[in-house]
Amino acid sequence: MTLRPFTMGDLDPVWEYQRLPEVAEHMLWEPRDLVQVKMALERMVREDRLAREGDCLSLAVVGRESGVVVGQVELVWLSERHRQGEVGYVLNPRYQGAGLATEAVIEVLRLGFEGLRLHRIIGRCSAANTASAALLERVGMRREAHFRQNALLKNAWRDEYVYAMLRADWG
């Protein structure tokens, strides 16, 4: 697995997974058409550094053998003063189960803790997304909260889990 900045040349593989209902099910967005994916990709291309609080670093997850973009991982710098960040990820279902998302999240945690010297990194997921919750636990994050019906998304109330890891827990 390789992580790299997105380019506009990644449009087709990103569209391949962002248009799928099973991917959008746990996201804030509905399945995206090609125009919506192009707009999202344009934003991700610009999210190429963490220079200050509020910045998001979006990276393409590229398969080892295939060289194809199979997903995305991001690190958001939530607070400079409190040295906190947030990790997020999406993987094409065709490539799930091979450990790529786990490997990508571990690398982003490494970047946050060792590169940015963050104190705490969180990860959030829908409580219904058991695979995502399992991934966050697999990388060593601890569930700190279960927010019941905290978001009205797609005409339904959604429960959310919040996981976190401290820099002291990292190494």
Longest dimension (CA), the chain: 43
Calpha distance 37→127 (Å, rounded) = 26
pLDDT of residue 155: 86
Among 9-13, 27-31, 76-80, 124-128, which stretch is predicted with the lowest mean pLDDT?
27-31
Buried residues in 95-122 as b, exposed as e (16+ CB within 10 A): beeeebbbbbbbbbbebbbeebebebbb
Question: What's the pLDDT at 28?
Answer: 86
**pLDDT of 154 higher than 90:** no
Please report which confidence band the pLDDT of residue 100 belongs to, taking 50, 70 and 90 as the band edges: very high
pLDDT given at position 71: 97
- Using a pLDDT cut of 90, give the percent of the chain over it: 88
Question: What mean pLDDT is predicted for residues 47-59?
Answer: 96
Q: Please, which pLDDT band fits residue 153 given cuts at 50, 70 and 90?
A: confident
pTM: 0.94
Read off the pLDDT band of 66 (50, 70, 90): confident
Q: Across all residues in the chain, what is the average pLDDT?
A: 95
Q: Which residues of 36-72 are buried (b: 16+ CB within 10 A; e: fewer)?
A: ebeebbeebbebeebeeeebbbbbbbbbeeeebbbbb
